[in-house]
């Protein structure tokens, strides 16, 4: 029995699947990414789906080609700092792909038992594009929610570490999650980490807080049980948060406190890691 494959449907459906797959990878890894680059990566993957029309390939060659395509999609969609980061992204991509594939296969078996065609590592559904896109969005939602649940379980430990870099200096801090710390920088809306001055050491900019010519210094109003006040904050060159084996680069301000009383070096709002 012959199966008719429409190239335009194949390209459109695979573009949407790849787009949401890459979005899932970005959400799970908590990386900052450009929607334009994600679209380009999805478009590249969609173009590669045309391998469906090539003669049947050996299984191992098929696997190598799929790994090469996945690697290229990741390099297009995300900025990779080193090979270790790339390896982590590739592992997450494989896990997400299996999740997508399993969910779509389950829905196909229960909802539309006909019209599926597989060749050279590419699956073609003889279904309406709207149905496949709907299933893809459902899968993306499930995977995103699962990622949030996993992050919330990680946050139960109550602490994380952060590496702050500024003006060529670097400092590692031990931070405590504090749901009462809802501070954000008023103009950018970026979250604020409150840290003890003596824990920050050399990462505090020179002349802080009297010299504000570099534009990185801000005054953050706060309200607490003990009253209200102002905290001087600066925007570091980079902040890497570490929770277990997870590494996340985040954009934030660091407020310097002379009165913070804690066994930790500072406090952080858990929503920074939750991506909210």
What does the domain layout of the chain look like in residue ranges?
7-153, 159-274
Q: What is the pLDDT of residue 3?
A: 57
Residues of the chain with pLDDT under 50: 113, 120, 213, 276
CATH number of 159-274: 2.40.70
- What are the distances in angstroms from CA 266 to CA 134, 198, 237, 262? 44, 11, 18, 7
Q: What is the pLDDT of residue 233?
A: 92
Q: What is the pLDDT of residue 152?
A: 59
**Measured distance CA(26)–CA(163) in Å, rounded:** 21
Q: What is the pLDDT of residue 227?
A: 67
**Measured distance CA(227)–CA(200) in Å, rounded:** 24
Nearest to 202 by CA among 165, 174, 231, 176: 165
């Amino acid at each position: 029995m012959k199966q008719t494959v429409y190239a335009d449907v194949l390209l459109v459906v695979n573009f949407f699947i790849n787009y949401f797959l890459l979005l899932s990878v970005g959400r799970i890894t908590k990386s900052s990414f450009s929607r334009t680059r994600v679209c380009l990566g999805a478009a590249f993957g969609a173009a590669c789906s045309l391998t469906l029309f090539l003669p049947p390939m050996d299984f191992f060659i098929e696997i190598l080609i799929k790994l090469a395509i996945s690697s290229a999609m990741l390099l297009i969609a995300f900025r990779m700092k080193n090979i270790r980061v790339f390896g982590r992204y590739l592992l997450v991509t494989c896990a997400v792909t299996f999740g997508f594939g399993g969910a779509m296969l389950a829905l196909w078996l229960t909802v539309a038992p006909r019209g599926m065609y597989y060749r050279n590592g590419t699956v073609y559904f003889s279904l309406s594009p709207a149905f496949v896109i709907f299933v893809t969005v459902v899968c993306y939602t499930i995977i995103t929610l699962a990622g949030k649940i996993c992050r919330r379980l990680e946050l139960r430990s109550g602490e994380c570490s952060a590496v702050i870099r500024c003006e060529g200096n670097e400092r590692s801090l031990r931070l405590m999650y504090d749901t009462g710390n809802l501070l954000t920088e008023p103009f950018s809306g970026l979250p604020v980490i409150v840290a003890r001055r003596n824990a920050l050491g050399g990462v505090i900019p020179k002349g802080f807080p009297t010299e504000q010519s570099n534009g990185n210094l801000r005054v953050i109003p706060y309200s607490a049980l003990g009253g209200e006040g102002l905290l001087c904050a600066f925007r570091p060159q980079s902040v890497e948060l570490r929770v277990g084996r997870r590494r996340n680069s985040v954009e934030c301000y660091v407020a310097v406190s002379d009165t913070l009383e804690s066994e930790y070096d500072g406090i952080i709002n858990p929503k920074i890691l939750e991506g909210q």
